[in-house]
Structure 1
């Protein structure tokens, strides 16, 4: 993923999501599936919507991609073509495909640390 100069500056400015000033934060509400500017969600009242990464634009037009990259700011999986955080990462474990969002933190880090090879 080629991050833009603006995205690189944001990643350098904020070391983690909680460093984002309150007035600049946006939130993803997983109850009503909206992006809101305040917490709690003004639409449904969800008390703890997820702090949205400033590098996330939430609009990925890709259906299925073979690779995945990780956000330099929040560490979440991102689309390697457009950088959207709105992706579901699946991996083959013990013979079946599974969404990795349910994995514990150690297993997810192990997946990020894997070395990926391309056969030329």
Structure 2
């Protein structure tokens, strides 16, 4: 993903999502899949909302892509084609495909730090 200068400026301005002022925040409701401006969710009433990364546009139309990128602001896995944060990252471990969201923080960081090579 090629991040624009505007995106990189946001990543420098806010080091983490909780640094974003409350009046500039958007929230993602995982109960009804809406993006809302305030808590609780006006659609379903859910109060446990996730602060949404300003670089996330919430919809990825890609089924499967090889490789993964990481958001320069929040560090979440993003689609390398469109930059959407709405992805599930899987990896092959001992012969099985597995969702990496269940891994501990150290193992997830190890996955982020891996260097990938292309054999020409």
1:69 aligns with 2:69: yes
Provide the residue aligned with 2:45 in structure 1: 45
Structure 1 runs, 4 residues or longer, greater than 4 Å off: none
Residue 6 of structure 1 deviates from its aligned partner by 1.5
Residue 59 of structure 1 deviates from its aligned partner by 2.2
Provide the residue aligned with 1:101 in structure 2: 101
Residue 41 of structure 1 deviates from its aligned partner by 1.6
The alignment covers a number of residue pairs equal to 120
1: CA distance between counterparts of 2:60 and 2:8? 20
1: CA distance between counterparts of 2:88 and 2:77? 8
Quote the RMSD (CA, aligned, Å): 1.1
**Residue deviations 1:59-116 (CA, integer Å, cap 9, x gap):** 2221111110100110000111211111110100111111111112111111111111
Structure 2 portions without partners, runs of 5+? none
Provide the residue aligned with 1:83 in structure 2: 83
1: CA distance between counterparts of 2:94 and 2:29? 33
Q: Name the SS of the counterpart of 1:45 in structure 2.
A: coil
Q: Name the SS of the counterpart of 2:53 in structure 1.
A: coil
Provide the residue aligned with 1:112 in structure 2: 112
Q: Name the SS of the counterpart of 1:97 in structure 2.
A: strand
Q: Name the SS of the counterpart of 1:73 in structure 2.
A: coil
